[in-house]
Amino acid sequence: AQKVTQAQTEISVVEKEDVTLDCVYETRDTTYYLFWYKQPPSGELVFLIRRNSFDEQNEISGRYSWNFQKSTSSFNFTITASQVVDSAVYFCALSEPYSSASKIIFGSGTRLSIRP
Amino acid sequence: DGGITQSPKYLFRKEGQNVTLSCEQNLNHDAMYWYRQDPGQGLRLIYYSQIVNDFQKGDIAEGYSVSREKKESFPLTVTSAQKNPTAFYLCASSQRTATSTDTQYFGPGTRLTVL
């Protein structure tokens, strides 16, 4: 069965520190997609990235980077030089495209607090 | 601007009442979804619809109902049968393709409180 585990419930760091959010997933399929979403205090989920299981190349977007490792079933998210605006709850999610209606399974989220 | 709108932002309900949450999208997406989020928890799927006039139950459909009469609209009714309806409700949509999972984009949410 599909499962996404975000073991870090809350993280608090001082501004400008680097921080990594962990995500471990379980799936029986060889084809799947992984996502990260950000939920600021306003509540709306903001899409950050989608990665398919055949693309293990790490991705960097500004201060954000993602490390996908199939060998350890992990898809970790790093914020470099964190800023107060990065404070939010971050969700990792998994989807198997040939399951019914492309359902997405979300992890329980990591609450990130950046202190000035 | 293309996007997903949800209304109202805050909703208060008395016990025993049915209430309907609105979700509209102008992204021309085929699929729409309703999720429930409880404090400190992830999202749980209530209902989803891949096409007009068709919808399927998600993981926690009991006490909820939906309709999909138009492509752009997917309202959710929280019925009096839902024992613990106080939660944050998020609507999402995605473009359906036959061979891949498309990204789900979310609306701003409706916070429902039962008095």
Query: What's residue A95's pLDDT?
Result: 87
The candidate with the shortest Cα–Cα distance to A92, out of A31, A53, A29, A45, is A45
Residue B6 touches chain A, beta carbons under 8 Å: no
- The answer to whether residues A115 and A13 touch, using CB atoms and an 8 Å cutoff, is yes
Would you state the pLDDT for residue B99? 52
Of B31, B43, B108, the CB nearest to A106: B43
Least confident of A11-20, A52-61, B37-46, B98-107: B98-107
Q: Which band of pLDDT confidence, cut at 50, 70 and 90, is reported for residue B100? A: low
Q: How confident is the model at residue B41 (pLDDT cuts 50, 70, 90)?
A: confident
pLDDT tens digits, residue range A80-91? 999 999 999 999
Is the pLDDT reported for residue B97 higher than 70? no
Query: Chain B closest CA to A99's CA: distance in Å?
Result: 10
β-strands A3-5, A104-106: how paired? unpaired
CB contact under 8 A, B101 and A97: yes
CB spacing of A106 vs B42 below 8 angstroms: yes
CB contact under 8 A, A44 and B45: no
Q: Which of B89, B48, B107, B94 is nearest to A50 (CA)?
A: B94
Model pLDDT, residue A102: 57
User: Residue A86 — φ and ψ, nearest 5°?
Assistant: -80, -10
Give me chain B's average pLDDT, please.
91
Residues of chain A with pLDDT under 50: none
Query: Shortest Cα distance from A82 to chain B (angstroms)?
Result: 23
Mean pLDDT of B17-24: 95
Contact A23, A3 (CB under 8 A): no
Please give the torsion angle defined by the CA atoms of residues A32, B87, A90 and A111, in that order, rounded to the nearest 10 degrees: -140
Q: Is B106 on the interface with A (CB under 8 A)?
A: yes
